[in-house]
Structure 1
Amino acid sequence: MEQTQSIKNLIEDIDAKKIFLPEFQRDFVWEVSKTYDLFDSLIKDIFIGAIIYGIPSFDIAVREIDNRRKITKGRKRPSLEIKTVTKSEIEKINKTGGNFRLILDGQQRSTSIYRALKGTDEIWFIAKSEDEIESPSFESAKLEELLEEITGEQSSERLSIRLSDVWEIEQNDYDEDDVKEKFFFTSTYYKNYSSTAGFDFKGEFKKFRNLKKKIADLFKSEKLLSFYLLDMNLEKFVVFFERSNTRGVQLNFIDILAAKLYTGNFNLKEKIKEFEQKHQNYNLIPEIIVRAIAYRKSSPKEINRNYILTSLNAEDFKEWWDKICLSYKRTLDYLYDNHYIISQDWIPYDNMMIPLINFVNEIGGDYHFMSSKQKRFIDFWYWNSIFSLRYSGSSNERIIEDSNALTIIANDKKITYLSFFNKLTKIQTLSVEDIYSFDKKANAVYKGLLNIISYEKKGLLNWNNDAKLSLNSTLEDHHIFPKSYLNKSLTNEIDRDLIDCVANRTLVPKIQNIRISDQPPSEYLSTIQLVNPNIGRSLESHLITSELLTGEYDKEFNFFVELRASAIFDIVNKHVIVPKDSIKEEFYEEVRFEETANINVYCSYKSNKASAVFNPSTAKIFYKGDLYESPSAAANAVKIDLGAPEHTTENGWTFWKFVDESGMEKRINEFRK
């Protein structure tokens, strides 16, 4: 029978050593972006699937929940506790109210929740401002209504709160002064706006405190997590793991859209099939095409599914489908021909293609029309987007912002919003040490590191025949020092932690009929050399020293990994870190306004809209015949006009919006110095 529990109960039971995993369960593998989606679903009351617990009636080896931080070179991660629990111990614990149980299904979800609340992973709730919600006030709004996004860093422009901070505050019962000093005053939002005229400290802290309470209430909600509790003998336990399938069936967004467009005589499914038959070496991702069309059509720019399903029609697709598909193919060709990607399967973020598609459409439909100056910017944007994890989590806003920026560059203009450059330069690889922490191929930085090697070397060569790898190559994520060999030969636990790191990995087609698993590198590579005498040249293209063939490195795994990690970081430094200042100087321009230069601005409150005129130079706003000395003063006046209480407060810099020359909606905060 299905039962429910709270997040609070889950965390407390894990801490109390009441919940364990079977020792043989797979490792925690979720990327942090899945944790963003998980909490987004919990807040929106979207079913995330039930956790299945088991009370085994037999002796079993168990291990604790993985709450370890990412790998750091030279620092050993603590081992996960593994112990054997006997049948009699389990019976004794549960007879005395201990509630011992194993997670049979739901490990990734449970571990993600635990890591988020314990602060192992940075998970932030970014809140909407009061003008963006329908409820009468911030305080009366439900948590779902207040959610702008769940992401990995706080916002300097929106009220933000880290989930682990909420847990810490609740567990330690901090008083109001502690909360202010430790959490509110240290936030980038407070630091950004506290010195701004019109900033209402008391009002903003009240919102912060209220948001903290709503999140704490979410943690305490008894009906939030569903679970089944199974009392299992050994036979049933084995059958459960043989037959369990945790993959849920999702509603296909493209199927819904196809049904809508069909009524307007546009056969989307037929068009997809037509592309695939015509271009068999390319994998078409229909949602990329659809979102690119949405960007071309909308103003202000919108590409979310709701806009697509409600606002796009068959005529839009008749006008844009073939053009965008051609740009899609040309973008893939450009990325491959210029060595940004090794193959289509290894693009770090598929959604990054949308800004590029919009860019190439803007310059005339072909990358041959791009200037060398524009190419420098594309280089910078592409690699920095990957290494700053720019497209992890909610990416619609990033797609629009980047499409807008690339449109500006396509028209040989300069970008006037500094925040764009600031976000792009928050990269994840600032030292050689950072290279060691990337060991999962689902991670965009992991993929980016392998791709940037190819970029530096002008393409990776096949180990079997030293030909360049093709766009549609089926590649294996290969351990250079084989895993089985290292498991046998390494005695140092710190070195073992580096077996899967990206410095010991590369991408190659399947190597046929050669025993690799427990061979030292020199032996299996020498066998390959019989088939490909130029294997040394192939290795060098992968940033692997050809001296590996001599056997000198067979017992020097640690030295090899350090050498290759250092070489990889040198490439990142060259193409990502070093250029940032010169790129900013070349492509950023501060907007300067004359005293008389005004722009039209607008705002909304409770679905009602108001317009005004804003002077960026003086920061004054002219609204309904009155001149207000600050955006916040004008915002307060608007809210009162539209039914807010007399003593309402609002941050005017995020309240007022405008549409820039490319049709993108922005906040006037862009004009703050």
Structure 2
Amino acid sequence: MNGLVNGRIRIPAFQRGFVWDADRVAYLMDSLYKGYPYGSLLFWRTKKPLRTERAVGPYEIPVKDPEYPIDYVLDGQQRLTSIFGVFQTSLEPMEAEGWLPIYFDLGAADDAQESQFLALKDDEVDQERHFPLKVLFDTTAYRAQTRPLNEVTAERLDRIQKRFLQVALPLQTFETDDPSQVAIVFERVNRLGTPIDALQLLAAWSWSEDFDLREQFEHLGSELRPFGFDSLSEDPNLLLRCCSAVIAGDASPAALMSLNGASVRKRFQEIRNGIEGAIDFVKTNFHCASIKSLPFSTVLVPLSVFFAAEGSKSVKTTGEQRARLERWFWRTCFARRYSSGVLRNLKTDIEEMFKLRHTPDESKLGDFTCDVTPDFFLENSLNIGTVNTKTFILLLARERPISFVGGQQIALDEVLRDYNRSEYHHIYPREFLKAHPAVNENALVNFAFISSIDNKIISGAAPSIYRERMDAGRFGDICERAMLPDSTWSDDPVAFFNARASLLSDKALEVIS
């Protein structure tokens, strides 16, 4: 508490604000009192003060010349702020709404489950039953509050005070002035489930007052809205990786933290051009109508390096370069390249992307192992949120499918922008497959672009029957674009599954070769 008041312990700006409600604060007090586990605190000790810091919950700490080094709270802000707010008596909250004093309920029975601490409004307080925790560490106020009480109650409160005085908060302190090490710790804390915003961390560390990177990203997002990629501004870490990749040729946390604010400000138009060029490429060549339809949003990072250009310039691709980029995209998706070893693979792809742009003959972009067998389509089930399903859908979209019944062109941009399941349906209907429990009705191989309207017309009929309801004049075209083998109409699901899986595998091998 003294460390917070004198400015030696501070809340950095990259932390989210205080979000606990009063009841949760009361439960923390109950856990402290009963000796229940409540987690440890993590401090970052540095001699370099950050440019921006947060208040301690609703309390504005007076500006003082701090004692160095300073401890910034990396993990445990909610708990630390709660403890400070409950027991401190020198400051008034800036916003009293939602912040209530915590009381010990003298009338509550000792219970392992139920809390003996309450967050109460003034008109809810019973002076004979509710004891305010805020006076517990204030000797004068504590004496005045306990003087009128009987000896038994006073002794009980003395035991409560002693118990809180004996609480030792588990604390880990990480000491460094090296921003790259802070980035590594930050990333590992993230993995443990405590989100810290890298963008705010970077802004707090190095950006100047006249350039707000967050505002620049929000503006970029609004410009991308007509193209379906406005949600990109909601992923600041991805955008930061694009910045770092363009400027430093590396998207690792260490490289990101070493970025110079002036360099980013000077080259931001180049970065913007790279991101916009990357988005235009995936939209034009793969029918990616939104960031949700990308198997890996990370592909935008190396692509932004290839398309980054100064000022109003744009990168003109040759046919050979475009073919190489397409091959790399498909191989990345089918090989699940960014599912593991992300930083290592990003580093390689960024370097090879730069070579493809400037010295194409030297580039080995996409030269990593990738194979697609029929089992990919037989063993994976349709699940819209997975990499394999998104890759499969883009492979279907590449053939520009047409309606099963009407024969008209499917509006892929609309379907893939909304990215819902209503436009992907079973080729062998589930009702028909009830008699064939040996096959997986939801396997990728059993899906095609079939609108909800067409699906109702097809209903649960056997393929040989619903074939008669399809557009006879465009029947061959429908089958070719949906990659349907002749065995589709045999009403033999095993034969169909195997034949179509082979067709899909052949198409996948074509795009990755």
What is the TM-score of this pair, normalised by structure 1? 0.41
| Contact map agreement 1:543 1:564 (CA 8 A) in 2 | yes
Cα deviation, residue 305, structure 1: 2.9
Q: Which residue of 1 aligns with 2:252?
A: 304
| Contact map agreement 1:461 1:469 (CA 8 A) in 2 | no
Q: Which residue of 2 aligns with 1:166?
A: none
Q: Secondary structure at the match of 1:567?
A: helix
1:452 equivalent among 373, 378, 395:
395
| Contact map agreement 2:241 2:251 (CA 8 A) in 1 | yes
Q: Secondary structure at the match of 2:434?
A: helix
- The amino acid across from 2:240 in the alignment is V
Does residue 488 in structure 1 map to residue 434 in structure 2?
yes
Highest CA radius of gyration, 1 or 2? Answer: 2
Q: Which residue of 1 aligns with 2:484?
A: 544
1:567 equivalent among 499, 503, 512:
503
Distance (Å, rounded) in 2 between the aligned partners of 1:470 and 1:397: 33
| Contact map agreement 1:466 1:534 (CA 8 A) in 2 | no
> Which one is further off, 328-337 or 505-514?
505-514
Cα deviation, residue 398, structure 1: 1.2
Q: Secondary structure at the match of 2:267?
A: helix
Structure 1 residues 573 and 544: CA distance shift in structure 2, 3 A: same
Cα deviation, residue 364, structure 1: 9.7
Report Cα offsets for 1:280-325 as digits up to 9, x if no partner: 2322244333212112332xx43223442x3234433323334323
Q: Which residue of 2 aligns with 1:114?
A: none
- The amino acid across from 1:543 in the alignment is M
Structure 1 residues 408 and 357: CA distance shift in structure 2, 3 A: same
Q: Which residue of 2 aligns with 1:432?
A: 374
Does residue 289 in structure 1 map to residue 239 in structure 2?
yes
Cα deviation, residue 366, structure 1: 7.2
Distance (Å, rounded) in 1 between the aligned partners of 2:319 and 2:477: 30
| Contact map agreement 2:293 2:417 (CA 8 A) in 1 | no
Cα deviation, residue 404, structure 1: 0.7
Q: Which residue of 2 aligns with 1:500?
A: 442
Q: Secondary structure at the match of 1:506?
A: strand
1:272 equivalent among 201, 209, 217:
217
Cα deviation, residue 524, structure 1: 6.9
Structure 1 residues 448 and 534: CA distance shift in structure 2, 3 A: same
1:400 equivalent among 347, 350, 364:
347
More helix by share: 2
- The amino acid across from 1:542 in the alignment is A
Q: Secondary structure at the match of 2:390?
A: helix
Report Cα offsets for 1:512-556 as digits up to 9, x if no partner: 8937774545677877x69x99687455423236996xxx34x32
Distance (Å, rounded) in 1 between the aligned partners of 2:290 and 2:486: 24
Does residue 359 in structure 1 map to residue 310 in structure 2?
no
Structure 1 residues 381 and 573: CA distance shift in structure 2, 3 A: same
Q: Which runs of 5+ in 2 are unaligned?
A: 1-30, 38-74, 77-191
Q: Which residue of 2 aligns with 1:473?
A: 417
- The amino acid across from 1:470 in the alignment is D
Cα deviation, residue 558, structure 1: 1.9
Cα deviation, residue 377, structure 1: 2.1
Distance (Å, rounded) in 2 between the aligned partners of 1:444 and 1:294: 25
Bigger RCO of structures 1 and 2 (CA < 8 A, at least 6 apart): 1
| Contact map agreement 1:294 1:312 (CA 8 A) in 2 | yes
| Contact map agreement 2:448 2:482 (CA 8 A) in 1 | yes
Note the aligned Cα RMSD (angstroms): 4.4
Cα deviation, residue 265, structure 1: 2.7
- 1:322-337 to structure 2, matched below 5 A, reads 322-337=269-284
| Contact map agreement 2:379 2:443 (CA 8 A) in 1 | yes
| Contact map agreement 1:481 1:557 (CA 8 A) in 2 | no
| Contact map agreement 1:383 1:575 (CA 8 A) in 2 | yes
- 1:243-254 to structure 2, matched below 5 A, reads 250-254=195-199
What is the TM-score of this pair, normalised by structure 2? 0.52
Cα deviation, residue 461, structure 1: 4.2
- 1:58-69 to structure 2, matched below 5 A, reads none
Cα deviation, residue 360, structure 1: 1.8
More strand by share: 1
Q: Which residue of 1 aligns with 2:331?
A: 384
- The amino acid across from 2:482 in the alignment is H
The alignment-based identity, stated in percent, is 16
Size of the alignment, in residue pairs? 321
